[in-house]
């Protein structure tokens, strides 16, 4: 198994190129016409659910070195270590300042965030990443399909929501990983698993968090909902013909993962607030549930079956 590692020493030695990049950016901003320079600013996305998704949430520790730093309706997970931190997901563009404030209110520094990762490249999970990368100087890594979207800030054909997906600030530098390769920041090891279907690049993340000798296997499982624009059919399309087989592959992956704690990009999809008190972050007994990933996959399969039946003009099974 190949691994990708970010070590503190390597990050420190990157300070010069980062400084040069910002200097270049400043020069370009001066030289470019105003609309392009202004497009660097994070503009809030207005959508029907955006305000509800972006409701503030006090950050809290889930277990060991793993913290919720997302909003009340959108996941963002911080995995800390003395040699740098990993952040998974950046919410909406307007979530970025809330995520940053959550990280800092826990006593961590943005510049110690060394690696930013993503579940899938829709505006509500990747929209804040450009700003969070600027605030931290972190490396951003994504699956090849998601990386192409994040580099442009525009979804790509193949996305079932292509024609309705909001654009967002493009991420300046996005490296790609290979699924199942371990990514490391100091002692932290996270593994990306392919769970495509909701988008072709959907990624589920796993890692182990320990509190003393009590270690738990975390799964940050990507969205599995068969949501699409009206012009996309899961049963018949030319842009993502393998979508149903991809979903099935993802369900099988989710069902086989070692899964003590399931967390999802939309916390309601895994009933997070039934398991953790949103007011004080108190962890309930239900946080650990070894069957949660299997149930999540099974319910996603039922939703896809219902969607397929509807497209074929049959009653929901
Ligand atoms: Zn999505």
Find the 213 Cα to ligand 1 centroid distance in Å: 36
Task: Look at residue 56 and give its three-state secondary structure.
Answer: coil
pTM for the full predicted model = 0.88
Residue 199 carries which DSSP code? S
Find the 102 Cα to ligand 1 centroid distance in Å: 23
pLDDT at 237 over 80: yes
Pairing relationship of beta strands 261-263 and 203-211 according to DSSP bridges: unpaired
Task: Tell me the per-residue pLDDT of 65-112, one tens digit each, with 9 for 90 and over.
Answer: 999 999 999 999 999 999 999 999 999 999 999 999 999 999 999 999
> What's phi and psi for 198, nearest 5 deg?
-60, -40
Find the 166 Cα to ligand 1 centroid distance in Å: 11
Which of 18-27, 113-122, 177-186, 204-213 is predicted with the least confidence, judged by mean pLDDT?
Answer: 18-27
Find the 96 Cα to ligand 1 centroid distance in Å: 17
Find the 265 Cα to ligand 1 centroid distance in Å: 9
Find the 284 Cα to ligand 1 centroid distance in Å: 28
Find the 122 Cα to ligand 1 centroid distance in Å: 5
Task: Look at residue 203 and give its three-state secondary structure.
Answer: strand
Which of 34-43, 205-214, 259-268, 282-291 is predicted with the least confidence, judged by mean pLDDT?
Answer: 34-43
pLDDT at 232: 95
Closest CA to 77 of 122, 132, 7, 131: 132
Find the 19 Cα to ligand 1 centroid distance in Å: 34
Find the 158 Cα to ligand 1 centroid distance in Å: 13
Find the 60 Cα to ligand 1 centroid distance in Å: 24
Find the 25 Cα to ligand 1 centroid distance in Å: 30
Which of 12-16, 167-171, 206-210, 281-285 is predicted with the least confidence, judged by mean pLDDT?
Answer: 12-16
Assign 142 a pLDDT band (cuts: 50, 70, 90). very high
pLDDT at 5: 75
What is the spatial distance between Cα 69 and Cα 104, in angstroms, rounded to a whole number?
Answer: 10
Under a CB-based contact definition with an 8 Å cutoff, are residues 268 and 49 in contact? no
């Amino acid at each position: 198994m190949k691994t990708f590692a970010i070590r503190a020493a390597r990050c420190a030695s990157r300070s010069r190129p980062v400084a040069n990049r910002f200097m270049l950016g400043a020069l370009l901003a001066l030289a470019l016409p105003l609309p392009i320079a202004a497009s660097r600013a994070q503009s809030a996305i207005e959508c029907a659910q955006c305000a509800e998704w972006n409701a503030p949430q006090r950050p809290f520790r889930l277990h060991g070195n793993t913290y919720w730093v997302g909003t009340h309706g959108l996941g963002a997970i911080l995995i800390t270590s003395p040699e740098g931190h990993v952040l998974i997901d950046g919410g909406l563009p307007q979530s970025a300042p809330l995520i940053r404030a959550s990280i800092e209110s826990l006593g961590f520094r943005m510049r110690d965030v060394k690696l930013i990762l993503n579940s899938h490249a829709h505006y509500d999970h990747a929209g804040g990443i450009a700003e969070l990368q600027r605030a931290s100087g972190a490396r951003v890594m994504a699956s090849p399909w998601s990386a192409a979207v994040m580099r442009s800030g525009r979804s790509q054909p193949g996305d079932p929501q292509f024609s309705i997906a909001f654009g967002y600030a493009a991420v300046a530098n996005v490296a790609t990983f290979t699924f199942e390769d371990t990514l490391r920041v100091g002692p932290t090891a996270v593994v990306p698993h392919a769970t495509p279907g909701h988008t072709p690049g959907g990624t589920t993340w796993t890692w182990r968090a320990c509190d003393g000798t009590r270690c738990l296997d975390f799964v940050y499982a990507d969205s599995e909902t068969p949501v699409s624009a009206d012009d996309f059919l899961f049963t018949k399309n030319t842009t993502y013909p393998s979508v149903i087989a991809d979903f099935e592959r993802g369900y099988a992956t989710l069902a086989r993962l070692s899964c003590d704690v399931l967390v999802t990009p939309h916390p309601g999809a895994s009933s997070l607030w039934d398991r953790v008190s949103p007011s004080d972050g108190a962890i309930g007994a239900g946080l650990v549930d070894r069957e949660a990933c299997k149930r999540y996959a099974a319910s996603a399969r039922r939703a896809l079956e219902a969607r397929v039946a509807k497209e074929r003009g049959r009653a929901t099974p």
